[in-house]
């Protein structure tokens, strides 16, 4: 037999040495493009992407020649089966050439990356629309920004989206999947993923419904009955965010105890003359305090930590990059000195820590145990980094004691980020899975998007939408073809990790007061997991950190229990209707 296990090992060695070079060149070329968007850099990146596809196809087709089931070594079997998925490289050359313009794709992400169209939110018309969505309390102005962005970007994506679906599904079928949604879900190595996430969503729904009902009442008090229907969905433009995926910007409108507002950490950071570099050093300090790895000199030399001032056009969506040579790791972020950006840097540094921990594995295993693990690492550290005790320790808060009411205020601000995000994180790929499997046809893309936004988020568009619009395209990850269910999954996982790491750190007391800073035990638990990359099935990896093999919402519910109790009491006191029985989206102002 020609292709035995010994040959397979030599084949994998050959792959290893060539892949490091090909992937490194692709990442370099892509980095050069997104940090200096010019046609020349785009051409160079497309060339390197083509070379990467040829390399993937060469090894992917040959990986099928091995009778994997007869092999003994589990690593060899796992590596060969992963190589067999060649993603878009399976497409015929002409369609592969067409792909970049169509398969937007996140340039550096693990999966088949393609340059995004540079559809960045700011600067748009010289304004930062996200800033307006977060700070304006004038609903006409909010409507202008909300509609302006969708008219400018959503429509542009619509033109190629149908072709994108066709090419994606063709590539998926050539790899043996029924459609691209099935190929995306295969990253979780589970044939019950759709049901599992639906179950997780149902467990979290009561928490979201109570938050939605309470926030609707607060918005009713501020904007009045002509805009807010207490028995209906909330208009999507008054939640403080372009996609209403995070409501933390309207904390001032919904604060449970307004006489005890949380301290303004951003103001304190600016008062202490924080600079972007110090924000990255702060995040690094947290990871090294756990006994985890520090970043190499290349990180500080090569990262882009601020928007360039030399006129270059850059892609400002924050991201973390692995250059697959075991030394070069970078973050690209247009950092502003705010608490939101500090916490987002913790998230990005979580990606970097994962890259550092698994850098000695085969390139094939240099990804998270599943995509949600990659997202959860940085987010779980953020839960401690944003805790009262940590901010106090780092001199970012002055008030020592936090009474019960202040604690509810803080839990509310965290829930406006995390709990508000639950239905959005769930529906983005619910929509795309249905588009890929044909349940949602092109003629009703926008109507079906809003059906999901109504059903899961309890939102309405502020003005009538038609099939001439394409509102899903206004979300970066959809225009950049970046899968999203990882963020829903990570939301649950990060609290499960947090509970396990807090236990390991010897924390006693409420989960939301836990801060694992300086805990070498917690760090060791995390390190043992990160080092594995994707070399083992993720339930095994989950068990190493939490002792369980199943994802559970218990920890998240425990964390928010004090807030849920307060919300239920508050909603009962007002005789509120949970949900939106008046499900119609009324647009006439006079009602």
Applying CB under 6 A, which residues contact ligand D0W? Answer: 106, 108-110, 318-321, 344, 347-348, 351, 374-375, 421, 487
Q: For residue 414, what is the enclosing H or E element?
A: helix 404-418
Between 284 and 375, whose beta carbon lies closer to Zn ion?
A: 375
Q: Nearest approach, Cβ of 521 to Zn ion (angstroms)?
A: 25
What is residue 111's three-state secondary structure? coil
Binding window for Zn ion (CB under 5 A); candidates: 152-160, 249-257, 264-272, 370-378: 370-378
Tell me if the bond preceding 367 is cis, omega within 30° of 0. Answer: no
Q: Nearest approach, Cβ of 320 to ligand D0W (angstroms)?
A: 4
Which position's Cβ is nearest ligand D0W? 108
49 binds, among Zn ion, ligand D0W, none (CB under 5 to 8 A by kind): none
What is residue 304's three-state secondary structure? strand
432 binds, among ligand D0W, Zn ion, none (CB under 5 to 8 A by kind): none
Between 171 and 187, whose beta carbon lies closer to ligand D0W?
A: 187
Q: Nearest approach, Cβ of 371 to ligand D0W (angstroms)?
A: 7
| Per-position x/- string for 115-144, each x denoting binding to Zn ion as judged by CB under 5 A, each - no binding | ------------------------------
Count of residues that interact with Zn ion, criterion CB under 5 A: 1
Between 110 and 434, whose beta carbon lies closer to Zn ion?
A: 110
Tell me the C-alpha distance between 241 and 145, whole Å.
Answer: 11
Q: Nearest approach, Cβ of 187 to Zn ion (angstroms)?
A: 14
Which position's Cβ is nearest Zn ion? 375
Transcribe 245-267 into DSSP letters: S--GGGHHHH-SSTTSPPP-HHH
193 binds, among ligand D0W, Zn ion, none (CB under 5 to 8 A by kind): none
Binding window for Zn ion (CB under 5 A); candidates: 52-60, 272-280, 372-380, 511-519: 372-380
Q: Which residues contact 260 (CB under 8 A, 6 or more apart)?
A: 403, 405, 406, 409
Between 232 and 483, whose beta carbon lies closer to ligand D0W?
A: 483
449 binds, among Zn ion, ligand D0W, none (CB under 5 to 8 A by kind): none
496 binds, among ligand D0W, Zn ion, none (CB under 5 to 8 A by kind): none
344 binds, among ligand D0W, Zn ion, none (CB under 5 to 8 A by kind): ligand D0W
Does 179 contact Zn ion by CB under 5 A?
Answer: no
* Contact of 339 with 274, CB cutoff 8 Å: no
Does 322 contact Zn ion by CB under 5 A?
Answer: no
Between 335 and 409, whose beta carbon lies closer to Zn ion?
A: 335
Q: Taking the CA atoms of the chain, what radius of gyration do you get in angstroms? A: 24
Between 482 and 585, whose beta carbon lies closer to ligand D0W?
A: 482
Q: Which residues contact 305 (CB under 8 A, 6 or more apart)?
A: 276, 277, 280, 331, 333, 335
| Beta strands, E only, 140-201 | none
Between 302 and 348, whose beta carbon lies closer to Zn ion?
A: 348
| Beta strands, E only, 450-577 | 459-460
Tell me the C-alpha distance between 376 and 382, whole Å.
Answer: 10
| Per-position x/- string for 443-482, each x denoting binding to Zn ion as judged by CB under 5 A, each - no binding | ----------------------------------------
Between 114 and 353, whose beta carbon lies closer to Zn ion?
A: 353
Q: Nearest approach, Cβ of 353 to Zn ion (angstroms)?
A: 12
Q: Nearest approach, Cβ of 108 to ligand D0W (angstroms)?
A: 3
Between 99 and 111, whose beta carbon lies closer to ligand D0W?
A: 111
Tell me the C-alpha distance between 582 and 83, whole Å.
Answer: 51
Q: Nearest approach, Cβ of 18 to ligand D0W (angstroms)?
A: 21
Between 66 and 321, whose beta carbon lies closer to ligand D0W?
A: 321
Q: Which two tokens stand for residue 249?
A: 């910007």
Q: Nearest approach, Cβ of 348 to Zn ion (angstroms)?
A: 7
Residue reference for tokens 């995070």: 246
Tell me the C-alpha distance between 480 and 59, whole Å.
Answer: 27
Look at residues 457, 509, 510, 534 and name the one whose alpha carbon lies nearest to residue 235: 457
Write phi, then psi, for 459 (nearest 5 degrees). -120, 155
3-class SS letters over 509-532: CCHHHCCCCCCHHHHHHHHHHHCC
Alpha helices (H) along 175-313: 180-185, 193-223, 251-254, 265-271, 276-289, 297-302
Q: Nearest approach, Cβ of 320 to Zn ion (angstroms)?
A: 7
Strands 329-332, 319-322: pairing kind: antiparallel
Tell me the C-alpha distance between 421 and 207, whole Å.
Answer: 12
| Per-position x/- string for 375-404, each x denoting binding to Zn ion as judged by CB under 5 A, each - no binding | x-----------------------------
Q: Which two tokens stand for residue 497?
A: 């990790």
Q: Nearest approach, Cβ of 478 to ligand D0W (angstroms)?
A: 10
Does 284 contact Zn ion by CB under 5 A?
Answer: no
* Contact of 319 with 35, CB cutoff 8 Å: no
Residues of the shown chain interacting with Zn ion in the complex, contacts defined by CB under 5 A: 375
């Amino acid at each position: 037999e020609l292709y035995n296990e010994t040959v397979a090992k030599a084949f994998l060695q050959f792959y290893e040495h060539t892949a490091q070079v090909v992937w490194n060149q692709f990442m370099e070329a892509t980095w050069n493009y997104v940090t200096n968007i010019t046609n020349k850099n785009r051409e160079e990146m497309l060339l390197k992407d083509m070379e990467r596809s040829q390399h993937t196809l060469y090894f992917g087709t040959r990986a099928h020649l091995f009778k994997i089931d007869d092999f003994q070594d589990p690593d060899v079997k796992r590596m060969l089966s992963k190589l067999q998925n060649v993603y878009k490289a399976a497409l015929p050359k002409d369609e592969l050439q067409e792909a970049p313009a169509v398969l937007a794709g996140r340039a550096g992400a693990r999966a088949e990356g393609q340059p995004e169209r540079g559809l960045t939110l700011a600067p748009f018309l010289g304004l930062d629309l996200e800033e307006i969505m977060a700070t304006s309390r004038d609903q006409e102005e909010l409507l202008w920004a909300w509609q302006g962005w969708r008219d400018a970007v959503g429509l542009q994506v619509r033109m190629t989206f149908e072709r994108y679906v066709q090419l994606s599904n063709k590539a998926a079928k050539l790899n043996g999947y029924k459609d691209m949604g099935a190929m995306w879900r295969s990253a979780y190595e589970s044939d019950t993923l759709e049901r599992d996430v639906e179950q997780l969503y149902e467990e979290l729904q009561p928490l979201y419904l109570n938050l939605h009902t309470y926030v609707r009442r607060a918005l009713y008090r501020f904007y009045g009955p002509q805009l807010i229907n207490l028995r209906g969905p909330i208009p999507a433009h008054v939640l403080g965010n372009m996609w209403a995926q995070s409501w933390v910007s309207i904390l001032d409108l919904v604060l449970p105890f307004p006489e005890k507002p949380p301290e303004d950490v951003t103001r304190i950071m600016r008062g202490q003359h924080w600079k972007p570099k110090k924000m990255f050093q702060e995040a690094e300090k947290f990871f090294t305090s756990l006994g985890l790895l520090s970043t190499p000199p290349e990180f500080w030399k090569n990262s882009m930590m601020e928007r360039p001032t030399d006129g270059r056009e850059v892609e400002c969506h924050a991201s973390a990059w692995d250059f697959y040579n075991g030394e070069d790791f970078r973050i690209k972020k247009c950092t502003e000195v705010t608490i939101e950006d500090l916490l987002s840097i913790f998230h990005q540094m979580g990606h970097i820590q994962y890259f550092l921990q698994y850098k000695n594995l085969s390139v094939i295993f240099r990804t998270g145990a599943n995509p949600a693990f990659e997202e959860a690492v940085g987010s779980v550290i953020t839960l401690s980094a944003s805790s009262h005790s940590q901010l106090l320790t780092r001199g970012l808060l002055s008030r020592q004691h936090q009474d019960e009411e202040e604690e509810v205020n803080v839990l509310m601000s965290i829930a406006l980020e995390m709990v508000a995000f639950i239905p959005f994180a769930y529906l983005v790929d619910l929509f795309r899975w249905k588009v890929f499997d044909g349940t949602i046809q092109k003629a009703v893309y926008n109507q079906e998007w809003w059906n999901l936004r109504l059903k899961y988020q309890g939102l309405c568009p502020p003005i009538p939408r038609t099939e001439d619009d394409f509102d899903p395209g206004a979300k970066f990850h959809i225009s950049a073809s970046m899968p999203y269910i990882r963020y829903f999954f990570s939301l649950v996982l990060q609290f499960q990790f947090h509970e396990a790491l807090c236990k390991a750190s010897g924390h006693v007391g409420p989960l939301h007061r836990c801060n694992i800073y300086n805990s070498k035990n917690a760090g060791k638990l995390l390190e043992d997991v990160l080092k594995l990359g994707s070399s083992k099935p993720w339930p095994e990896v989950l068990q190493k950190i939490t002792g369980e093999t199943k994802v559970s919402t218990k920890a998240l519910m425990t964390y928010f229990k004090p807030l849920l109790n307060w919300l239920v009491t508050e909603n009962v006191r007002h005789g509120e209707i949970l949900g939106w029985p008046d499900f119609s989206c009324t647009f006439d102002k006079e009602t």
